A and B are shown apart, each in its own frame.
Chain A
Amino acid sequence: MPLKTVKKDTAEKLTLEWVLHVKNYRLSLDRNRCVGCQICSLACPKEAIKVEKQPKSKGEKTRRPKVDVDLAKCNFCGICDILCPYGAVKVTLDNEHSLPVIEKECFPKPIREIQVNPAKFPASREEIEDACPLHLIKVSAPMSEKAESTATVEVEKEYCPCCRVCEVKLPSGAMQVRKFIYGKIAVHQEKCPDGCTDCLDVCPIAGALFLQDKKVAVNDTFCVYCGACKLVCPVEGALELERTRIIHEPIRSGAWNKTLERLTSPVGIAKELKNKGSLKARESVKKRVGLKED
């Protein structure tokens, strides 16, 4: 008899479910955290995710693209969950956030390296918390002028895209963040239509893009290369974005190689495979993407 499935879509949340008698598989997408970037749709091995540009009405800010997941294609593997820079997707099995693809070492976890050094924090709680463009730093109260070192500072790591804004905003050494997605981004201002700020409108990292003489400019230090901007840019070639590396736990997995192929530039994969000395995988990638030996 047919499989019982559920799909619910609200402004807050998208939920997909397989309701089996003994197991419950659920994918939920927190629309408040989702920025509508490129990552999950590229990462999904079943091509179940579509990201759609939203229509723009005059005088309003560009809206973030909308993510939709096809229930017929999704197999609840959780790869989108693992790779979402903003931690917007959660895939659970019987309400437990445990992913077999990780447990069975079939897919790597990106490494979010965030070091917090409370000794170096400034006194003001607001100042600390405001350092994060996504408001992920939480300082435990009470925090007094004198006893700041006893207060704990916590970062909601699972939602952190590692943009490094806090590292720069706070006194040196207070936070140390290493990006887990590396890449290149450039805005060719000569191609930008006058007054267009579409990319800036959707970028979740305040400071990664900014206005310079009425044109958008980039600060490469803060960009997490999620590609939300790329999706909304109206002019072909005005915004260039490329991911070159993803920092992850060591793994040997065909699924990861393919994800990498879709997420990063050919040069990026070549490097990773070279480092791993995985000749066979390299050959197959070469065949598929027409990689040139460098």
Chain B
Amino acid sequence: MAETASQKQEKTRQKKPKATGRGRRLKTPRPRIGVFVCQCGGQIASVVDVNELTNYVKTLPNVVYAEQMNFPCSRQGQEEIVTAIKKNRLERVVVAGCSPRLYEPTFQRCVSQAELNPWLFEMANIREFASYCHQANPKQATEKAKDTVRMAVAKAKLLEPLAPIELPMTKKVMVIGGGIAGINAALDLADMGFKVYVVEKTESIGGYMALLDKTFPTLDCSICIEGPKMVDVGRHPNIEIISYADVLKAEGHVGSFKMKVRKNPRYVIAANCTGCGECKDACPIEYPNYADMYLGVRKAISPPFGQAVPLTHTINRDYCIECFKCIDACGAREAINFDQKPEEVDLEVGAIIVAIGYSMYNPSDLEWTGYGKYDNVFTALEFERLILAAGPTGGKVVRASDGQKPHSVAFIQCVGSRDINRYEHCSSFCCMYTLKHAVMLKEKYRDDIEVYVFYNDMRSNFKGYEEFYNRAQKSGVKFLRVKLENRKILENPQTKSLTVSGETEDGKPVTAHSDMVVLANAAVPQQTAAELAKILKIPTAPEGFFMECQPKIRPTDTDVPGIFLAGACQGLKDIPYSVAQGSAAAAQAAAVLSKDVWTVEPLVAQVNEDMCSGCRVCESVCGYNAIAVENLGDKALARVKEGLCRGCGICGSACPMDAISMPNYSDRHIIAQVKAVMERGDKT
């Protein structure tokens, strides 16, 4: 049997990590320190007097070498540092430059090339702390830069060589959310040979794309392109779909996340159900179908739509009358089990991809729209189901009030979006899907239909999109530009037709009469996002989408190593972009999963077992569940879970016994820096 990651972890823990590199042998109480001062192409040098700083640094105790460089982070710069380390037999290295968040890993790699232990490196941030924030006072900025470097040197003197911590890797991954983003991530990873669990909340994977008629800008049939991918997911030997399920709990860390998932009862045994639908035909009960946006119905036992994956039927007990006709119809297959209970499963995975998509805003609280009050006002998604050939009306666009085909349709953009009182964000794909709807109507009904689009800005800014906008204009769609304020929709109570009005930027009224209105209502964060964020301990942005680690260069990472984002849950995006992000997240996850061990920085809390009294104070203050008191025979001792510890140090400061310290961030190191900063008067 394969070892689980936690068993492996136990083993690796027993192996005491060994520090490597020259630093290990280093006993000198007066280490040879080298300082490299960065000019940062003028970003530092234009404010801080780098000459003066470098000369000053040379006077500091233990500094045996100092030079100024233009870009130490460049390849050439790094080579120069390596040479300088070797030539001057440097034992500690300080780079005075930008933020360690950006470049510390680069310089750590650089010093290890010179066979120096990477934790014998220290960074002094004189760009953000001096040149950027004191541009108006170059003199003082220079003084502050000196202070900063002096502190770094004082700390560098005390740095100790450390060894990275290695955690075992479970080569499995969980994709949460089976929309088009999750589907792509899952297929990519499964093709690379990793075991993938796709956890989907609803009965079927597919997400919104499975509900759409056609897709812009090519107008190909949405389910025809997504369906085969859904089937591939269902059939892939490396993928297990866990649908109609909720993630309840997530513990552990990259390499070994321990997940608890609840499979909700369908009252149909998935293994026995062939999806034949005979039960569905026998069932007497229908209920409004969410997948049809409640324009149509489904049976109490049914799949949500014909192409559902898995096709396992589900009984909705809220509507079922328990006539048991389905049991008779199912017969020898015996797939129906009214006693099914929710089932909880525990799964261990090395990485997680979150792809839970978005939700749609219900515009009935925007009174001017008349949504929910006027029969012939629809949302865009309802319109998708109306025009879809396999939809409840068989693709006939008809009014709700009289079942007649409209002779004019008005589309209203930005309903709830770009509205500081509702959702400030732009929903990003509404302009394009409205163009799609408008073109489809024009091409379907030609001169028999007038199409109006009330818009404020038309956003068609990706490949082929502007061209599609032109196609819409050529097809005769009337575009009416109005302000977002003072728009109004009024119903004629007799004809149930509508009058849409707005104002141009210069206050001129614009009106159109139409038989039907379609609202581009805001797409908003997934309703389950906040809860999942809590479970996974990943941050969300104020408006509710998941927060990426860095918006420009790390758009698919979260703050938590091993958890990645894909698709609209990170920020609204259309299908091509969601697909690309799905694959990007898969590549990120693969980079993690393909390692045999996951190395983490050794900057995690260390417990001095002789001093620990087992009082549990540390346990109560740790925000990451990374430290816990364990009973070890006769003694209770705090133990650190290295994969979870973020090295924040809060346990160390809370410990009444002073039993916890952070390597290279101990009291000694901090006090040395504090002393150094107080020295200013003596030296300058």
The interface of chain A, by Cβ under 8 A from chain B, is 1-4, 18-23, 45-46, 75, 77, 79, 100-101, 103-107, 252-256, 258
Contacts and interface: CB of A to CB of B under 8 A. Distances in A.
Give the one of A19, A21, A256, A258 with max B CB within 10 A.
A21
A2 B296 contact: no
B386 A21 contact: yes
Contacts of A252: 328
B393 interface: yes
A103 B284 CA distance: 8
Nearest to A3: B294
Interface stretch (B38-46, B285-293, B498-506, B532-540): B285-293
Nearest to A106: B323
Q: Would you call the interface of chain A mostly helix, strand, loop, or mixed?
A: loop
B296 A101 contact: no
Contacts of B295: 20-22
Given A2-B372, A20-B288, A106 B296 contact: no
B364 A2 contact: yes
A253 B324 contact: yes
B362 A1 contact: yes
Nearest to B399: A21
Closest 8 CB pairs of A and B: A254-B324, A21-B295, A106-B323, A255-B323, A100-B284, A45-B321, A3-B294, A104-B284
B299 to A, nearest CB: 10
Contact of A21 (B318, B324, B328, B393): B393
Given A21-B296, A21-B392, A106-B321, A1 B286 contact: no
A77 B379 CA distance: 29
B579 interface: no
A254 B283 CA distance: 12
B280 to A, nearest CB: 11
A254 B362 CA distance: 39
Contact of A22 (B296, B325, B328): B296
15 contacts: A1-B294, A2-B364, A20-B297, A20-B392, A21-B392, A22-B393, A23-B286, A45-B322, A46-B319, A75-B321, A104-B284, A104-B325, A252-B328, A254-B323, A256-B323
Interface string B381-413: 110001000001100001010000000000000
A105 B282 CA distance: 9
B360 interface: yes
Contacts, number: 86
Nearest to A251: B323
Contacts of B319: 46, 75
B294 A75 contact: no
Given A1-B293, A1-B382, A106-B321, 9 more contacts: A1-B294, A2-B362, A4-B372, A21-B393, A23-B297, A101-B284, A101-B321, A254-B323, A255-B322
Contacts of B288: 3, 18, 20
B324 A100 contact: no
Given A2-B372, A4-B294, A18-B288, A104 B282 contact: yes
Give the one of A3, A46, A79, A107 with max B CB within 10 A.
A3
B400 to A, nearest CB: 5
B286 to A, nearest CB: 7
B288 to A, nearest CB: 5
Nearest to B392: A22
Give the one of B285, B323, B392 with max A CB within 10 A.
B323
A254 B286 CA distance: 18
B382 A77 contact: no
A184 B681 CA distance: 107
| Interface size of B as a range | 20 to 34
A255 B319 CA distance: 12
A81 B382 CA distance: 32
Contacts of A2: 294, 362, 364, 372
B284 A1 contact: no
B400 A77 contact: no
A100 B285 contact: yes
A253 B360 CA distance: 40
A20 B393 CA distance: 11
Contact of B284 (A20, A22, A77): A77
Contacts of A101: 284-285, 321, 323
A254 B315 CA distance: 15
A21 B400 contact: yes
A106 B323 CA distance: 6
A75 B300 CA distance: 10
B369 to A, nearest CB: 12
Interface in B9-24: none
Nearest to B281: A104
B285 to A, nearest CB: 6
A56 B293 CA distance: 46
Given A1-B360, A2-B372, A23 B296 contact: yes
A39 to B, nearest CB: 16
B379 A1 contact: yes
A75 B286 CA distance: 8
Interface in B312-342: 318-319, 321-325, 328
B284 to A, nearest CB: 4
A75 B287 contact: yes
Nearest to A99: B284
B323 A107 contact: yes
Contact of B321 (A19, A20, A79): A79
Contacts of B372: 2, 4
Nearest to B385: A21
Contacts of B398: 21
Contacts of A105: 325
Interface in B143-202: none
Contacts of A253: 323-325
Nearest to A45: B321
A46 B328 CA distance: 22
Nearest to B364: A2
Nearest to A100: B284
Given A21-B400, A100-B284, A106-B284, A1 B381 contact: yes
A45 to B, nearest CB: 4
A245 B288 CA distance: 35
A45 B360 CA distance: 33
Contacts of B360: 1
Contacts of A258: 322
B651 to A, nearest CB: 49
A2 B398 CA distance: 19
Nearest to A75: B319
Contacts of A23: 286, 296-297
A192 B319 CA distance: 42
Contacts of B300: 75
A106 B294 contact: no
Given A3-B294, A21-B295, A21-B386, A100 B286 contact: yes
A249 to B, nearest CB: 14
B602 to A, nearest CB: 53
A19 B294 CA distance: 9
Contacts of A1: 293-294, 360, 362, 379, 381-382
B391 to A, nearest CB: 9
A255 to B, nearest CB: 4
B365 to A, nearest CB: 11
Contacts of B286: 23, 100
A254 B282 CA distance: 14
A18 B282 CA distance: 22
B628 to A, nearest CB: 46
Contacts of B287: 75
A104 B393 contact: no
A20 B287 CA distance: 10
